[in-house]
């Protein structure tokens, strides 16, 4: 079996609801985010997933991701990993895109990056490290992390430049699966929030 990587974005937070760039600020989940995490867990513990026996689980150490993992029912077999932390937004941490555009009118994060934070190249290297780990053994992996790092992993899994991540959005508590088609890296499922529609 060729390894797959299942990507779970953390549940809703106050800053994600407001559109604030939430990098390394440790924001807790809202009640809505906790509910979504439980629903995601229920989904992953019934068919066709059946609790993902044998899957290797890692989470960003930031509370919004680690709590999502715990509430989804994978806390007993998870390993925190700093590589899964969100993009370090530097001077733009906590700002919304409209606020940033007052500072830099033509700003586009996937082209311009952020001042005093992590560069696009650094983000890409980190995504590559995660992809390499995911492909390193004959087992699936499940990661709980954040919107921009997960989108970057998706881009690099496909062999695209990290800027490709601009074209694939991710909602809170979404589930995505990266796998293979015709022996090439492929998207099996992306930004699936069906479990939230119950």
- 88 and 24 Cβ atoms separated by less than 8 Å: yes
Domain containing residue 21: CATH number: 3.40.50.1240
- 144 and 66 Cβ atoms separated by less than 8 Å: yes
Q: Is 41 helix (H, G, I), strand (E, B) or coil?
A: helix
Q: Is the pTM of this model over 0.85?
A: yes
Please name the residue that has the structure tokens 């970057």. 152
| 148 among known catalytic residues | no
CA–chain centroid gap for 73, Å, is 17
- 139 and 54 Cβ atoms separated by less than 8 Å: yes
The residue from 56, 70, 86, 118 that is catalytic is 86
| 197 among known catalytic residues | no
Q: How many helices (H) and strands (E) does the chain have?
A: 7, 6
- Number of structural domains, the chain? 1
Q: Which domain holds residue 61?
A: 5-197
The residue from 10, 146, 148, 195 that is catalytic is 10
Q: Is 122 helix (H, G, I), strand (E, B) or coil?
A: helix
What tens-digit pLDDT sequence spans the chain (198 residues)? 579 999 999 999 999 999 999 999 999 999 999 999 999 999 999 989 999 999 999 999 999 999 999 999 999 999 999 999 999 999 999 999 999 999 999 999 999 999 999 999 999 999 999 999 999 989 999 999 999 999 999 999 999 999 999 999 999 999 999 999 999 999 999 999 999 986
Separation of alpha carbons 133 and 127, rounded Å: 10
């Amino acid at each position: 079996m060729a390894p797959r990587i299942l990507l779970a974005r953390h549940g809703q937070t106050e800053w994600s609801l407001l559109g604030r760039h939430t990098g390394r600020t440790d924001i807790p989940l809202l009640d809505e985010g906790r509910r979504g995490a439980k629903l995601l867990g229920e989904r992953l513990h019934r068919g066709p997933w059946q609790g993902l026996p044998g899957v290797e689980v890692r989470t960003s150490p930031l509370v919004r991701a680690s709590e999502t993992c715990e509430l989804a029912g994978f806390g007993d077999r998870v390993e925190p990993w700093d590589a899964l932390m969100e993009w370090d937004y530097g001077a733009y941490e906590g700002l919304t895109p409209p606020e940033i555009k007052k500072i830099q009118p033509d700003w586009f994060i996937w082209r311009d990056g952020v001042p005093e934070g992590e560069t696009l190249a650094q983000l890409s290297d980190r995504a590559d490290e995660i992809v390499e780990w995911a492909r390193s053994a004959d087992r699936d992996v499940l990661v709980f992390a954040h919107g921009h790092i997960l989108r970057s992993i998706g881009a690099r899994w496909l062999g695209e430049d990290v800027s490709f991540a601009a074209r694939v959005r991710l909602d809170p508590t979404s589930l995505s699966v990266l796998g293979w088609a015709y022996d090439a890296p492929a998207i099996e499922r992306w930004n699936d929030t069906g479990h939230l529609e119950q």
